[in-house]
A and B are shown apart, each in its own frame.
Chain A
Amino acid sequence: MAETILSGKQLRKVFDGVIAVDNVSFAVEEQTITAIIGPNGAGKTTLFNLVTGFIPPEQGEVYLQGRNLNGTPPHEVARLGISRTFQDLRLLRQISVRDNLLLSCPNQIGEVFWHALFSRRVGSEEANNHEEALELLDFVGLRDLTNEPAGNLSYGQQKLLSLACCLATKGKVLLLDEPVAGVHPDMAARILDLMVKLRDQGKTIVFIEHDIEAVKKVAGRVVVMDDGKVIASGSKEEVLAKAEIIEAYLT
């Protein structure tokens, strides 16, 4: 019953002679939460970059619902349904929370040159998107900060915002790079909670984290990477039980 929605086959990426991702294959089922863990420099973020088209692999393929994503530029990958957040928390800090969300809405005719100038539909499209943005802000709990410049938000709030932007793109697969790292425990709990709700609503989530507790709380499957390779993958219980994984991870 569970369909594979996202998979990678024998992906390999080399930077300046260093093998960042080494023959990595994975399969993610729809409506699941998968965690990728591993020490710094294991290649986790590079894997995200490969999947989302920001860097081309030397070898290997990525498939989204059976469709080969090789050579697809990042904006197209986003349109096809994969949304992501970034380790260094990318946001537009000069503009308001709401404007960040409006930007994230997909398929806006107002973003097309000709229509921006001459179409009457832009106004109503903006109004609709505005409504949806407010709903999303309610969902993540940032409604009262709607008009604040994003730069004024706390770190944790900015993480919530970037999650909201991800959702605004209406992607089916969310790749979250360290969604709770460096965040106050209450806020972390909130974010993890949202992740579970999103899965129940039909999203597929893959997230990178260092916090084992967070992984234990929400992940269904766990993939462990080290030195560019996948050294273990399976259900959370199986993987976390393996003593050597925890050792390698903690050292």
Chain B
Amino acid sequence: MDYLLHILILINIYIILVVSLDLIAGYTGLLSIAHAAFYGIGAYATALLSIHFQTNFLFNMVFGIVGAAVLGVIIAFPSLRIHDDYFVIATFGFQMIVYSVLNNWVELTRGPLGIPGIPVASLFGFNIDNHWKFLILSSIFSTLVYLFVRKLVNSPYGRVLKAIREDEVFAESLGKNVNSYKIQVFIIGGALASVAGNLYAHYVTFIDPTSFTILESILVISMVIIGGAGSLRGPVMGAVVLVVLPEALRFVGLPSSVAANLRQIFYGSLLVLMMLYRPQGLIGEFNFQK
């Protein structure tokens, strides 16, 4: 039962990650493999603050959001000048830089040793210290994030984002400040991903840089793409599929490293297959074709 709760909690965390990345990549067309960097900033911000200053997780979330927003502005800048696959390479570079900071700035982050003993989240004196409570907390957040992004993308604001995705020159000629929107979505998407990181840190209570690598970024973008970029339910489905199906491998009794490899082979193959036969994913709108 606890295991089932664990899966559901993970799904909630990934829902936040995929929906926020979908805003950037699926709706605005800015493919990014730097999302784990935002995720990591949120996690590390809350881990460090709550251990050194005993501050509340919500308070820390604000700091995570600010840190992610700063990174978002930095990453958005190249998108104003370079496009498509070149931009992906730039996000790749940024992801690697953030990872190496988390891994090498030992004085701050303890590097590869990670940060153990992260206190549980607490709300009005109420400790979120078991799986049931965390499931409720994470569900509240994932629902809020989902509704937030949904309202945004279905509004005229969302219409501009989709226009930028399809033809940014046209959008600009209609008076839309394309550069400003690109920066905004990275800030918003990044901030939401840092929220996921915050929750993750208080759930697992021990974090280290290996949870925030380029492979994690690729996993999240795979979820978005396989589920369907540019729709909201698509990435959520992608998240569910890519969290649940590989977990099923555990039940077959395979050693965990083998299961880890198989899981990656699974989503790597799905990604290739999708690109070959259905780039818009299961139920998406954007097929990365320009």
Find out whether A and B make contact in their complex, taking CB atoms under 8 A apart as touching. Answer: yes
- Give A contacts to B, CB under 8 Å: 52, 54, 73-76, 78-79, 83-84, 86, 90-95, 99, 102-104, 106, 108, 110-113, 116-117, 122, 125-126, 165, 169
15 sample A-B contacts, Cβ–Cβ < 8 Å, listed by A number: A75-B172, A75-B175, A78-B173, A79-B175, A84-B173, A86-B173, A92-B170, A93-B166, A94-B285, A102-B159, A103-B163, A108-B156, A111-B160, A113-B188, A122-B155
Let me know if A102 and B156 touch, CB within 8 A. yes
Report the separation of the CA atoms of residues A54 and B285 in the bound assembly, to the nearest whole angstrom.
29
Interface 1/0 per residue, B160-194 and A, CB below 8 Å: 10110011011111111111000010001000000
Question: With A78-B174, A94-B166 given, is the CB distance from A117 to B160 under 8 Å?
Answer: no
Report the separation of the CA atoms of residues A126 and B179 in the bound assembly, to the nearest whole angstrom.
24
CB neighbours of A75 from chain B (8 A): 172-178
Let me know if A126 and B173 touch, CB within 8 A. no
Additional A-B contact list (10), CB under 8 Å, known A75-B176, A92-B167: A73-B179, A75-B178, A94-B166, A103-B159, A106-B175, A108-B156, A110-B157, A111-B157, A111-B159, A169-B174
Shortest beta-carbon contacts, A-B, top 8: A110-B156, A116-B157, A78-B175, A116-B155, A90-B170, A75-B177, A74-B172, A79-B175
Specify the chain A residue showing the minimal Cβ separation from B177. A75
Number of A-B pairs whose CB atoms are under 8 Å? 85
Question: With A73-B177, A116-B156 given, is the CB distance from A86 to B169 under 8 Å?
Answer: yes
User: In the complex, what's the smallest C-beta–C-beta distance from B172 to chain A, in angstroms?
Assistant: 5
Specify the chain B residue showing the minimal Cβ separation from A52. B173
Let me know if B151 and A116 touch, CB within 8 A. yes
CB neighbours of B178 from chain A (8 A): 75
Let me know if A83 and B170 touch, CB within 8 A. no
Let me know if B174 and A103 touch, CB within 8 A. yes
CB neighbours of B171 from chain A (8 A): 103
Cβ of B105 within 8 Å of any chain A Cβ, yes or no, is no
User: In the complex, what's the smallest C-beta–C-beta distance from A161 to chain B, in angstroms?
Assistant: 12
Report the separation of the CA atoms of residues A73 and B173 in the bound assembly, to the nearest whole angstrom.
10
CB neighbours of A126 from chain B (8 A): 156
User: In the complex, what's the smallest C-beta–C-beta distance from A71 to chain B, in angstroms?
Assistant: 14
Let me know if B156 and A90 touch, CB within 8 A. no
Let me know if A111 and B156 touch, CB within 8 A. yes
Report the separation of the CA atoms of residues A79 and B177 in the bound assembly, to the nearest whole angstrom.
10
Report the separation of the CA atoms of residues A93 and B151 in the bound assembly, to the nearest whole angstrom.
23
Let me know if B169 and A122 touch, CB within 8 A. no
Indicate which residue in A83, A94, A95, A112 contacts B173 across the interface (CB closer than 8 Å).
A83
Cβ of B148 within 8 Å of any chain A Cβ, yes or no, is yes
Indicate which residue in B155, B159, B172 contacts A117 across the interface (CB closer than 8 Å).
B155
Let me know if B170 and A91 touch, CB within 8 A. yes
Let me know if A165 and B174 touch, CB within 8 A. yes
CB neighbours of A54 from chain B (8 A): 169, 172-173
Specify the chain A residue showing the minimal Cβ separation from B171. A103
Cβ of B82 within 8 Å of any chain A Cβ, yes or no, is no
Cβ of B152 within 8 Å of any chain A Cβ, yes or no, is yes
CB neighbours of A165 from chain B (8 A): 174
CB neighbours of B159 from chain A (8 A): 99, 102-103, 111
CB neighbours of A95 from chain B (8 A): 162
Let me know if A103 and B160 touch, CB within 8 A. yes
Let me know if B170 and A117 touch, CB within 8 A. no
Report the separation of the CA atoms of residues A110 and B156 in the bound assembly, to the nearest whole angstrom.
5
Let me know if A90 and B167 touch, CB within 8 A. yes
Let me know if A92 and B166 touch, CB within 8 A. yes
Report the separation of the CA atoms of residues A52 and B151 in the bound assembly, to the nearest whole angstrom.
33
User: In the complex, what's the smallest C-beta–C-beta distance from A49 to chain B, in angstroms?
Assistant: 10
Let me know if A90 and B155 touch, CB within 8 A. no
Question: With A86-B169, A92-B167 given, is the CB distance from A110 to B155 under 8 Å?
Answer: yes
CB neighbours of A99 from chain B (8 A): 159
CB neighbours of B174 from chain A (8 A): 75, 78, 83, 103-104, 165, 169
Specify the chain A residue showing the minimal Cβ separation from B188. A113
Report the separation of the CA atoms of residues A33 and B178 in the bound assembly, to the nearest whole angstrom.
30
Question: With A95-B162, A106-B175, A110-B157 given, is the CB distance from A116 to B170 under 8 Å?
Answer: no
CB neighbours of B176 from chain A (8 A): 75, 111
CB neighbours of B158 from chain A (8 A): 116
Let me know if A74 and B157 touch, CB within 8 A. no
CB neighbours of A106 from chain B (8 A): 175
Interface 1/0 per residue, B178-221 and A, CB below 8 Å: 11000010001000000000000000000000000000000000
